[in-house]
Amino acid sequence: MGDGRERLIPLFDVELTTEEIEAAADTLRSGWLTMGPRTEQFEQDFAAHLGCRHAVAVSSCTAALHLAYLAAGVRPGDEVIVPAITFVATAAAVRYCGATPVLADVRGEHDLNLDPDDVAARITPRTKAICAVHYAGFAADVVRLGELCDEHGLALIEDAAHAPSATAPESERKLGTYGLAGCFSFFSNKVLSCGEGGLLATDDDEVAALARSRRSHAMTSGTWDRHRGHSAGYDVLDLGFNYRIDEPRAALLAARLPSLEHNIAARRELVHRYRAEISGLDGVSAPFADEEVERSSCYVMPTMVEDPELREPLRARMLERGVQTSVLYPAIHEFTAYAGGESLPHSERVARAELTLPLFPTLAEADQERVLEALREGLSELRGTVPA
């Protein structure tokens, strides 16, 4: 049994290879530090990987969401329907447009993605878009949500922050390519990471042009164009932002992209093992279905504690045994800045019962066993039973 002095197994860890570090270091030596040839290269590589026409690299997924909502025509007074179980950025970026995020419920403990029926019930004349989040890399129902959007003349935006290289059922088509725009995050703990970064993917030429323009103050040319003598001056065409990514990060991403599939395969193997073990435990379950794991990017390993009262004491007991855990996510409508809406029972239940276990491609089997042991022991102590 752990005594609190065992090496901590973190929720998440990142290990860069020498080649990846060299790619960033070479960029530093090159003397060109922001949006230039490395950014262009990464955009081409990522568009090819996704199978979409345009990939616009930006400073974060939050920035990509803001640009996607603007491209969908979201303006002050409009509404965008987003799930209550997501990172707050999905909703915050709606407010950047002066619009109101309308929170919809998720399907339940077995499926932490948007419930299309609940979404349908929340569509009003002010609704402009629906944002589907692919929780942990498991596909939201992009087909039904897309149909709803078509029926009501809305834009489907995908928050694919968790989901690079993931797919929907019965299709090879990558998530992030179903909507008007797909938004990706390269934040440190994401599946493909560089520290801070994001990307907007789209097949729509106008959406891509808007994102390219607004990410750099809606100027008619960038410093890289001027450096290459393409343009002497510039005009400013609209209200833009500084949402640029820099070259060392773009180089790091381009260097890491080729191992993305390999890393996801390692994540899937760990998730299969977690799920098999958890299916034999009383008092805890794993959302989504086993066959969905092969289509998911497996960003995190979510579990649901049957008795939500036990979750925090269980987390404390696991931490005593050197295992870090987290909660993805608290429900947005229970945050101070988003309070006042109606109750969303499934989201509230998820917010109280969800417990996220450590998951990263280099998690050793022995460490995964320690996580499971801490889960088993903590649960059995709290439930006053013997381990299953």
Ligand X SMILES: *Cc1c(COP(=O)(O)O)cnc(C)c1O
- Interface residues with ligand X (CB under 6 A) are 60-62, 86-87, 89-90, 133, 159, 161-162, 185, 187, 198
DSSP codes of every residue in 210-279: HHHHHTBTTBSS-HHHHHTTS-S---B-S---B-PPBHHHHHHHHHHGGGHHHHHHHHHHHHHHHHHHHT
Nearer to ligand X by C-beta: 159 or 377? 159
**Residue 125 CB, nearest distance to ligand X (Å)?**
27
DSSP codes of every residue in 186-228: -BTTSSS--BS-EEEEES-HHHHHHHHHHTBTTBSS-HHHHHT
Structure-token pair, residue 99:
């619009």
Instruction: Quote the CA–CA distance of 182 and 142 in Å, as a whole number.
Output: 12
Instruction: Quote the CA–CA distance of 147 and 152 in Å, as a whole number.
Output: 9
**Residue 135 CB, nearest distance to ligand X (Å)?**
8
Instruction: Quote the CA–CA distance of 177 and 136 in Å, as a whole number.
Output: 17
Residues in a beta bridge with 216: 242
Structure-token pair, residue 43:
């955009």
Nearer to ligand X by C-beta: 167 or 321? 167
Nearer to ligand X by C-beta: 214 or 376? 214
Nearer to ligand X by C-beta: 58 or 278? 58
Contact 215, 159 (CB under 8 A): no
- b/e per residue, 296-323, with b = 16+ CB within 10 A? bbbbbbbbbbeebebbeebbebbbbbbb
**Residue 96 CB, nearest distance to ligand X (Å)?**
12
**Residue 159 CB, nearest distance to ligand X (Å)?**
5
Nearer to ligand X by C-beta: 264 or 374? 264
Instruction: Quote the CA–CA distance of 48 and 362 in Å, as a whole number.
Output: 27
H/E element, 96: helix 89-96
Nearer to ligand X by C-beta: 178 or 187? 187
H/E element, 58: strand 54-58
CA angle 341, 80, 245 (to 5 degrees): 120
Nearer to ligand X by C-beta: 89 or 264? 89
Nearer to ligand X by C-beta: 61 or 293? 61
H/E element, 57: strand 54-58
Nearer to ligand X by C-beta: 245 or 293? 245
DSSP codes of every residue in 16-41: --HHHHHHHHHHHHHT--BSSHHHHH
**Residue 328 CB, nearest distance to ligand X (Å)?**
8
**Residue 241 CB, nearest distance to ligand X (Å)?**
13
User: Three-state DSSP class for 146?
Assistant: helix
**Residue 183 CB, nearest distance to ligand X (Å)?**
7
**Residue 249 CB, nearest distance to ligand X (Å)?**
11
**Residue 273 CB, nearest distance to ligand X (Å)?**
24
